[in-house]
Structure 1
Amino acid sequence: MEIKAVFFDLDGTLFNSMRSVSNSTRQAIVDLHRNGIYVGIATGRGPAFCLPLMEELSLDFAVVYNGQYIFTPKEVLYEKPMDKKVVRKLIRYAQKNAREISLGTAHGVGGSGLLKFGETRLASMLAGILPSGTSGIARNSFKHVVRRLAPKNNYLKLLREPIYQMMMVATAKETDSIAAEFSELSITRSNSYSIDLIPKDAGKLSGIQWLGEHYGFDIHETVCFGDSDNDLSMLEAAGYGVAMGNASPAIKEVADYVTDGNNQDGIAKALDFYGLVQYIPGKSFVSKDRNFNQVKEFHKKMDGRTQEYPIAYEAEEASHRADFKVEEIVEFLYAASEHNPDVFRLLVDQLHADVDKAVKKVKRKEHPEDKLTGQVDALMDLLYLTYGSLVLSGVDPYEIFQAVHTSNMAKIFPDGKAHFDTETHKILKPKHWERFAPERKIKRELDRQKRVAKKKWPQLDVED
């Protein structure tokens, strides 16, 4: 069976118990993308929570609010708000029965302070402090403390926006009675203290199926990971449904495969089991810096050289790395000269003078740091200064970096390998690589940024 897309639930699945993503999972996501497989999330959380995570992990799309809202980092693909009559009915029910509720909008979750607090890492830690045998009185006292700290929200104000999902504090025993009261809604649960309420025909599965039609894959060509009851339908329908080791018994019952827990590299191990990635514990790391990971991917493709343990450059290799950087500095000055040879010569002469001045300055300084620390300190200053130059020129580097990365990855030859100049050891460009050259995309993105800036600050008189 060919797998074209992989979906992860968040809490208890993609997230470990510290509400972060393990390095093995980060590496697995990089490898999935390298193998041409879409990667997305399917969660009861909202878009405002998920977007930073999507950008951090380079995820392709997200099914949020249990299928009610679907988007990519660049655009909203699908949205299906709840019927406002049903929403008002549920608010009246909650007020009448003194129940905590929250309303999910495109911009965030509003309503109950208790429910929003329950989504935080602090709440998870406090929940861990209270043992499972703690009496209901103690747990209810904890809730009342939170209620006193959290002000009440104005539901009428929230109702001005589309509502995609509602959340209510309810125990498992209370689920059936609420379901009977709201037969037009589907009730799902991702934790022990609250329920999610969405339209009857909605769910993570329907959201994934909609994405499949949009991107050209079938539900049987997916792998879905989950741990809670709201993951049930997508795990049953997926080509391979994977239950985390920490999943509920009901999820494990329907899963095709039960992997290790979310704190034991369960995702990477399951993907390795199905032959989608190679899991080698402790052999590689993935940074939280997305750009670093993309450059690391580039080096793996080009020459297979990456380093997993911090080491310092020896003198000759350090000279090569400096050579690459100096060439870019000279190109930077050439662009500043506007191709005027006289101005360019003066700028290069000044660069030589600056190098001589820097040599004297470095020689005068004390250097108590070791070789690796000194090199990394200098490289980080270079990186910081580069960002500073972009800041002072008013340029957002995000899309431009992606354009450069795409063009660099296009330097693979038809034989699937990179080719190098025998003398300079620089990467050669395949025939017709010019169509991947980044300059045109950079220019287009800069023009876009200028248009946006002029709309925001029309009073500025800036020449192009």
Structure 2
Amino acid sequence: MDNYRVAFFDIDGTLADDQLPRELPFTERVPESAKKALKKLKENKIEPVIASGRHYRTLLELAHSLDVDSIISSNGNCIHYRGELIHQNTIPTKILIPLIEQLKQATIEFMLEAPHGIYYLEGSTYRGEHPTGKIRLNEQDPLPKDIVQLIVPLKDLRQFKLAEDSPLIIEKVAPFTANIHLKNGTKAEGIQKICSSMGIDVTQALAFGDEENDFTMFHTVGFPIAMGNATPSLKEKAAYVTDSVSNDGIWKACLHLNLISKQ
């Protein structure tokens, strides 16, 4: 597999082991074998890139520890190439306000994600998996104008539906979490823009994933790889299914596909 130049990695359930306590930082949930695989990929001129539904700032420590320079965050709604923001999608206020009202009427709590931080509404108890570092938004405060997506408990969305013609989409991104964002803000868009910045074609890209928000990656790259712990429907779209993240799936896939060597 000589022609691949970039490999995109989801975090939760792909690079980071979801079987470990989720309050642990990502750096402690990534197997040593995966860290070694990414280092060897880079040595072999295959650039590793993080592609996650999570907020950019929550990924920086992990990216730094893995020597990763480019990040697709917020499900493709924020794209950083070599440390610089090259693209961002924001939900227009005329779409955001009715969505917030719809969620409130359904008594569904949520957080609002902007590039500079994550907001929770006054009176809300929902803080996601990592409760610290959130910004309180009081009743009288104006809504930030650069909201890229909403973070919502997955269990609360079972009876919640968006209109068929809505410009928004609901995506499961982790075992207990979903995001609501613009349909055109996807990991696929992030891949296309990163590849364009690198001067390569998307067929020269690989992607590793495990969850529903990885479908667009799998439809875009030249070679999609599903983790052994991936959702069955994603495995069906994969060119190759490796072992689970906890059983060195990334390392094994890179060896099997001759992307790296054991030495």
- After TM superposition, the score normalised by the length of structure 2 is 0.86
User: Per-residue deviation at 1:119?
Assistant: 4.8
Partner of 1:14: 15
| Change beyond 3 A, Cα 1:196–1:29 | same
State the structure with more CA Rg.
1
Letter in 1 for 2:14: T
Structure having greater relative contact order (Cα 8 Å, sep ≥ 6): 2
2:23 alignment partner in structure 1: none
Query: Quick check: 1:225 aligned with 2:225?
Result: no
Is the contact between residue 6 and residue 224 of structure 1 (CA under 8 Å) also seen in structure 2? yes
| Aligned AA (2:226) | A
Are the equivalent residues in 1 in contact too, given 2:108–2:156 (CA < 8 A)?
Answer: no
Which amino acid in structure 2 is aligned with residue 88 of structure 1? I
- CA distance in 2 between counterparts of 1:156 and 1:9 reads 37
**Whole-angstrom CA distance in 2 between matches of 1:198 and 1:225:** 22
Using the TM superposition, give the Cα deviation of residue 151 of structure 1 relative to its aligned residue in structure 2, in angstroms: 10
| 1:28 paired residue number | 37
| Residue 177 (structure 2) pairs with residue 191 (structure 1) | no
SS in 2 for 1:196: strand
* Cα shift readout 1:387-409 (whole Å, capped 9, x = no counterpart): xxxxxxxxxxxxxxxxxxxxxxx
Structure with more of its chain in strand, by fraction: 2
**Residues 1:103 and 2:86 are matched in the alignment:** no
In the TM superposition, what are the counterparts of 1:125-204 in structure 2 within 5 Å? 153-154=137-138, 157=141, 159-171=143-155, 174=158, 177-180=160-163, 183-204=166-187
**Which whole-Å CA distance do the structure 2 matches of 1:46 and 1:155 have between them?**
24
CA root-mean-square deviation = 2.5
In the alignment, which of 85, 88, 96 is matched to residue 79 of structure 1?
Answer: 88
Aligned in 2, Cα 1:165/1:179: closer, same or farther, shift over 3 Å? same
* Cα distance in structure 2, aligned partners of 1:235 and 1:155: 41
Q: Is the 8 A contact 1:186 1:202 kept in 2?
A: no
Matches within 5 A, 1:325-340: none
Q: Distance in 2 between matches of 1:218 and 1:265?
A: 29
* Percent of residue pairs identical: 30
Q: Which residue of 2 aligns with 1:250?
A: 233
Aligned partner (choices 90, 97, 106) of residue 99 of structure 2: 90
> TM-score normalised to the size of structure 1?
0.50
Partner of 1:57: 66
Q: What is the CA distance between 1:97 and its match in structure 2?
A: 1.4
Contact 2:225 2:240 in 1 (8 A): yes
Report the Cα offset of residue 88 of structure 1. 1.2
Counterpart of 2:249 (choices 266, 270, 293) is 266
Give the residue type in structure 1 aligned to 2:101: R
Supply the AA of the counterpart residue of 1:220.
T
Taking the aligned partners of 1:7 and 1:92, their CA distance within structure 2 comes to 36
CA distance in 1, matches of 2:99, 2:114: 16
Supply the distance in 1 between the matched residues of 2:89 and 2:52 (Cα, whole angstroms).
15
What is the Cα deviation at residue 225 of structure 1? 0.6
Gap runs ≥5 in structure 1: 121-149, 281-464
- Which of the residues 199, 210, 230 maps onto 2:193? 210
Structure 1 residues 67 and 160: CA distance shift in structure 2, 3 A:
same
Higher helix share: 1
Unaligned ranges ≥5, structure 2: 21-25
Question: Which residue of structure 2 aligns with residue 323 of structure 1?
Answer: none
Q: In the alignment, is the contact (CA less than 8 A) between 2:243 and 2:249 conserved in 1?
A: yes
1:96/1:152 Cα in 2 relative to 1: closer, same or farther (>3 Å)? farther
Distance 1:50 1:155 in 2: 30
Q: How far, CA to CA, are the matches of 1:241 and 1:109 in structure 2? A: 31
* Distance change >3 Å, CA 172–CA 227, structure 1 → 2: farther
What is the distance in 1 between the residues matched to 2:35 and 2:43?
A: 13
Closer/same/farther in 2, CA of residues 171 and 182 from structure 1, 3 Å limit: farther
Pairs within 5 Å for 1:360-439: none
The 8 Å contact of residues 65 and 165 in structure 1, kept in 2 or not, is answered as yes
How far 1:163 moved relative to its partner?
A: 0.6
Distance 1:13 1:163, change over 3 A: same
Give, as a single letter, the amino acid of the residue that structure 2 aligns with 1:200: K
Q: Distance in 1 between matches of 2:208 and 2:142?
A: 32
Write the distance in 1 (CA, Å) between the matches of 2:177 and 2:161: 12
Distance 1:41 1:165 in 2: 18
In structure 2, distance between residues paired with 1:192 and 1:158: 32
Match of 2:128, as an amino acid? F
Letter in 2 for 1:266: G
C-alpha contact 2:117 2:135 (8 A) present in aligned 1: no
2:76 to 57, 67, 74: 67
